[in-house]
Amino acid sequence: MSLRWCLITWTTHGAWLPGDNRGFRTRGHKSDVPPPKRYAQNQNVYNSRDWQRLLEYSKRISKREVHLDQRQQGFVQRRLDEIARKCGCLTTAIHVGKGHVHILANPRANRLSKLVQRFKGVTSRGLSEYGLEGRVWARGYHVRRIPDEDIAQATRYLLRHKNRQGMQGE
């Protein structure tokens, strides 16, 4: 099954770790909420000390946090656009921040998981020319379906986000 329009988001390695004090975004898009119970080690309540310990543990195992500089962001932006065109994937907006990527796309006949794998793989290999070695992107990605009637609004949102944050934006 191919998706119609969707907002695809992924982060750089170590940029948003379990326990981060910014909280987690739930499926209902509530932000700044404690992490899901699955991170609470079988506890019913998630208190701030547990949250802090989880963040410290997350930082220890992730080894390093990747932030893209302006040149690296520009490279990723250009490569994502090229890859999308070669794959026949329509895009209306792409935003590359220091620690995350947003793409508003219609993957058409492409399997979304394969497309994101290609986006992340090609850009990761290319970033080695810009001084980034090793793991660049965090595992996984998030997809939110966008109804056809909301495409213009979603595009404006991403372009405003890009312009407000600039290429250095988080």
In the predicted model, is pLDDT for residue 30 greater than 90?
no
Confidence of residue 1 (pLDDT cuts 50, 70, 90): very low
Residue 86's pLDDT band (boundaries 50, 70, 90)? very high
pLDDT of residue 35: 56
3-state secondary structure at position 69 = coil
Secondary element (H or E) of residue 60: helix 48-62
- Band of pLDDT at residue 168, cut at 50, 70 and 90: very low
170 closest CA partner among 8, 7, 12: 12
- Give the Cα separation of 51 and 74 in Å (integer): 34
Mean pLDDT score, 69-85:
95
Cα 91 from Cα 78, distance rounded (Å)? 12
Residue 65, pLDDT > 60, answer: yes
- Residues listed for the chain: 170
The 8 Å CB, 24+ separation contacts for 107-112 are 107/2, 107/3, 107/6, 108/2, 109/2, 110/2, 111/2, 112/3, 112/6, 112/8, 112/143
Find the range with the poorest average confidence among 36-40, 81-85, 142-146: 36-40
pLDDT band of residue 133 (cuts 50, 70, 90) is confident
Q: Residue 38 above 60 pLDDT?
A: no
b/e per residue, 34-58, with b = 16+ CB within 10 A? bbeeebbeeeeebeeebbeebbeeb
How confident is the model at residue 160, as a pLDDT?
82
**Residue with the larger pLDDT of the pair 110 and 152:** 152
The mean pLDDT of 46-61, rounded to a whole number, is 66
Q: Which domains does the chain have, with CATH numbers?
A: 6-14+67-165 (3.30.70.1290)
In this structure, how many other beta carbons lie within 10 angstroms of the beta carbon of residue 25?
Answer: 14
To the question of pTM greater than 0.75 for the whole model, the response is: no
- The whole-angstrom separation of Cα 70 and Cα 125 is 17
What confidence score (pLDDT) does residue 58 get? 63
Euclidean distance between CA atoms 103 and 7, whole angstroms: 6
